[in-house]
Amino acid sequence: MVTDSLSPFQTKALSRRLQERAARIQSWLCVGLDPDPDQMPADIPRSAAGLVEFCERIVVATSPHAVCFKINFGFFESFGVAGWQALAETRQLIPPAIPVIADAKRGDIANTARGYARGIFEELGFDAVTISPYLGWDSIEPFLGYRGRCVLVLTRTSNPGAADLQELRLQGEQLYLHVARRSLQLRGEAEVGLVVGATAPEAVRAVRRLSQDALLLIPGVGAQGATIEVAMAAGASAAGLNALINVSRDILYAANGTEFAAAAAGAAARLAAETWNAIAPAS
């Protein structure tokens, strides 16, 4: 059953921006900025400032091929106060025309969630944020008041332990499907999308069947074992839209020497073409 009904107050501004950019650059590639100091080239300092330097070179190299970027908060937060400053600096490196997702996986009671929402949307200026629904729907509500932004609800994640909870059955259906269905019914001014891992293609297909309209963030391609062809076949809408294929390690660490940025650019170009070719009509 398709459940594409939206609140009259909910906009699809971010989806429209992404669709326009995807058509312009012929890519549904989301470049994940996961700057792991243990994997960065030897000439990059193992510091908060080093994260910014590394990400800046990656952003410059891959921007022509990225429909959006996703910044993983964990790598920055590990450096404490300096890491938070580095996170803000890295956010500002990304050209205004390119949407940016805060991969923060927030989820807390409403008054705390309001603080997270203000910080991520108002202070840091992110376009979207990943949200854990475990505390219930009131924990998501504060994020929904931001017109033009997007809340990406963790639904069926790409990690090996995802099935421990997310595939448990609730009233006859798996929990991740219940989360997806209920998330798509949330009311607010922000757009609601879903995070569904490419490592579980049947789950991606099941979630896509719920809505041809929803924006899906699809991690798990590359280092986690999934392929772009399978991810796009499962996650793109019938019109070939709204499947953000996130790749991090295969781009960031395509080479480990001074040529890492050039290697990242080459990897991003190849992967972007794969996302576009996967939805191209057969000749």
| Residue numbers annotated as active site | 105
Cβ neighbors of 177 (< 8 A, separation 6 or more) are 206, 207, 210
Q: Compute how many other C-beta atoms are within 10 angstroms of the C-beta atom of residue 259.
A: 12
Is the backbone of residue 105 left (phi > 0), alpha (psi -120 to 50) or beta? left
- State the distance between the two ends of the chain, measured CA to CA, in whole angstroms: 31
Local structure of 221: helix, strand or coil: strand
Q: Is 194 exposed, middle or buried (0-12, 13-18, 19+ CB in 10 A)?
A: buried
Cα dihedral 117, 9, 130, 17, rounded to 10, equals -110
Local structure of 98: helix, strand or coil: coil
Question: Which tokens belong to 222?
Answer: 């590359």
